Amino acid sequence: MPVEPSISRYNQQLEMALSSKVRGASASLRESAFVDLVIEGLIEQGFLHEPVRAEPDVNLPSYIVAYEVDENRKILTLIVSDYEVADSPTPRRFSPDDLSIRLQKWIEDARKAKGSRGNIGPELSQLRELIGKDNEVAVWVISNSWDEAGAALGLISDLGLYEVVDFWSLEQLGKLLYSPQQFDLVVTNFDDFEAGDVKVLGPFAINGRSIEAYLAVFPGRLLADLYQRNRENLLSENVRGYLSSSGRTNRGILTTIKEEPSHFLAYNNGLSVTASGAELAVRNGSLVLESLTGMHIVNGGQTTASLHFAKYENDSNLDGVWVQAKITVIRDDATPGFVSLIAQYANTQNVVQAANLTSNSRFQKALADKSREVSEPVHGTYWYYERVRNSYFVEQFQQRNVGREDAFASKYPASQIITPTELAKAVMATEHFKPDVAAYGAQKAFREFAALTARKQPTQRDWKRFVALSILWREADNTIQGLDLGGYKSQVLCYTVAYLARKLGPSLDLEKIWNFQTIDRQIILWLQELAPLVRTRLIEDADKANVAMYARKPVAWTVLKQTLEWSPIAGGPSQESHPGLSQSAANPRKILRQFPESYFWGTIYEAVTSGGENYTRDDMRLSFKFYNLIEASPDRISDKDCADAAVLLEKVNRRS
């Protein structure tokens, strides 16, 4: 059976995205990037909320890469990776092998608390505790393979003792990550469906008439038909469609439909719907809803999918099934950030996340416009701000249809895509010194970022600053990844970047990063030295707690700031890092070659000016002279200046 063109395209897009995130072809690094990319997509689409990345543990299988517990529904979701580095453009076919057997044995052992002798890390201890609490175990397999002819059914069959099993194949992940989401102008006409009128109460005006609320009752078969015809728009690209008919929540919905359809309205929580416009009419003395523009089901995705499953898979009669709904119509002139608050608080079911709902805020739209105005100064290409998820690949595909795909890719390289959630994490860590927010997850970081920028209007200078922060964030990520520290990389990244940015203060030259489109080698050296210290500090401060969960708490940042002693001085805190430094007296101008960047001398100037009585006015003048001339006019720096500068650097090292 030949591979469908769309699946091959998804495979190429996935590998291209991984290549832009990971330097080199290391299998472990590519798999880590794959897991990060997929989990972020699952979070943005509301399938996950704030999962915990599973870190290496002597007793924890490496293929269990993340987990999340829903305490309200008592469901523990295990994320399992089935990634293999692609060795050809043709997607590989899925083969269950012994993955199901290994998973089954491990979970059974965990339930029985077997094999608990010896040292057990917090990851395994917490998972065993969660499984032991009689949580329903959901196993999700994420794979870059093509599930030809339902090969994953064998895996699901083997895992039959679990109530929820999901297999995310390359086709499903491709739809999740790379299908279009340009549905804001789609108009849903309810008269097109033969299911009866949608009666409403309202409008209830909020903030003048920029926000209106309605209460409505939808016929169950109308929702089933809506899902059948327009599921991608209705549920924000709900590619998975249906979690599982055996899960507790959906099993209860189907039972009510079958046995007590007239009670469905009383038992079900209903839907929360957002839209950008509504058309109403009066029929037979009742106010009815004719159409909605940009209809999103923010809450109630599983209710809608279950109704669809009941009608189209179980052949159930939905006559007499009614579903209540709250409809919020948000006009263009609504209060900035209002939609993100709906996403934040309406989170009892599958949620369309804040980053998706606020993509049309004034700030986000303006920032995307600014990204199109400014080319970067090194290669003349543009950074692409992907305010709407997957819009880059949608636009690239549109350009392919008119023969301009290569020109588009040259102007907007895939390696220069910046997503709102990535930018939010970088901004919260580096500019607001909140690594706990960044470590909590992309959506929480974006909610805070959206709140901070809701009433602002970005400029070209803002865009350049944001690009520089993104470059710093990515270079730091690559640097820390290359250290192979052995776990907690995402937490170490957030705290290392925040700590370094706080220490550097104004001397962190974002304009220079923009101008050169990279960070100084000096910053890389600092990151290499600082990251292991941060990791050790986080593990020790967490004590026996889960490090990933501890890093989400503000106290983690408070303690780290107070207890970690490190200063960004002269290529490192010790002269041993630069043995040639003490020999500069014999060759005074050697220091110009050792430290040729004004950024470095800016940090020395900052250290001197903030050092009080430890330094003289001559020290201040000398450090400023090097900062001002080292790149522009190094010939104006005398041999005596160089010799004095070597002495100053030794003094700064001793004081650090």
**% of the chain beyond a pLDDT of 90:** 23
Q: How confident is the model at residue 347 (pLDDT cuts 50, 70, 90)?
A: very low
**% of the chain beyond a pLDDT of 70:** 72
Pairwise CA distance, residues 609 & 611, whole Å: 6
pLDDT score, position 3: 67
Give the position of tokens 């690209």. Answer: 237
Which range has the worst mean pLDDT, 133-142, 322-331, 565-574?
A: 565-574
CA count, 13 A, side-chain hemisphere, 233: 16
User: Looking at the predicted structure, is the pLDDT value of residue 335 above 50?
Assistant: no
User: Looking at the predicted structure, is the pLDDT value of residue 385 above 50?
Assistant: yes
State which amino acid sits at residue 209: R
Pairwise CA distance, residues 582 & 604, whole Å: 17
Instruction: Give yes or no for a contact between 322 and 209, defined as CB atoms under 8 angstroms apart.
Output: no
Domain ranges of the chain: 5-178, 187-355, 362-563, 575-655
CA–CA distance from 339 to each of 379, 526, 611 (Å)?
A: 38, 40, 48
User: Looking at the predicted structure, is the pLDDT value of residue 84 above 80?
Assistant: yes
pLDDT greater at residue 30 or residue 424: 424
pLDDT score, position 209: 59
pLDDT score, position 87: 66
Pairwise CA distance, residues 542 & 539, whole Å: 5
Classify residue 229 by its DSSP letter: H
| DSSP string for 501-563 | HHHHGGGS-HHHHHHHTS--HHHHHHHHHHHHHHHHHHHHHHTTS-HHHHTTSHHHHHHHHHH
Classify residue 634 by its DSSP letter: G
Which range has the worst mean pLDDT, 350-364, 389-403, 576-590, 617-631?
A: 576-590
Pairwise CA distance, residues 7 & 20, whole Å: 20
User: Over the stretch 408-455, which tens digit does the pLDDT of each residue have?
Assistant: 989 999 889 999 999 999 999 999 999 999 998 888 899 899 888 888
Q: How confident is the model at residue 556 (pLDDT cuts 50, 70, 90)?
A: very high
pLDDT score, position 119: 43
Pairwise CA distance, residues 564 & 175, whole Å: 44
Average pLDDT over residues 147-163: 52
Average pLDDT over residues 235-254: 49
User: Looking at the predicted structure, is the pLDDT value of residue 348 above 50?
Assistant: no
Which range has the worst mean pLDDT, 18-22, 189-193, 470-474?
A: 18-22
Distance of CA 512 to the CA centre of its chain: 27
Q: Check: CATH 3.40.91 for 5-178?
A: yes
pLDDT greater at residue 387 or residue 44: 387
Average model confidence (pLDDT) for the chain? Answer: 77
pLDDT score, position 496: 97
Average pLDDT over residues 382-397: 82
pLDDT score, position 15: 81
pTM over 0.85: no
Instruction: Give yes or no for a contact between 90 and 513, defined as CB atoms under 8 angstroms apart.
Output: no
Q: How confident is the model at residue 101 (pLDDT cuts 50, 70, 90)?
A: low
Per-residue burial over 178-189, b if 16 or more Cβ lie within 10 Å, else e, is bbbbebeeeebe
- Give whichever of 31-35, 105-109, 149-153, 537-541 has the largest mean pLDDT: 537-541
- Residues paired with residue 565 on neighbouring β-strands, in sequence order: none
User: Looking at the predicted structure, is the pLDDT value of residue 603 above 80?
Assistant: no
Which range has the worst mean pLDDT, 84-93, 137-146, 495-504, 521-530?
A: 84-93
Which range has the worst mean pLDDT, 354-363, 396-405, 457-466, 624-633?
A: 354-363
pLDDT score, position 344: 44
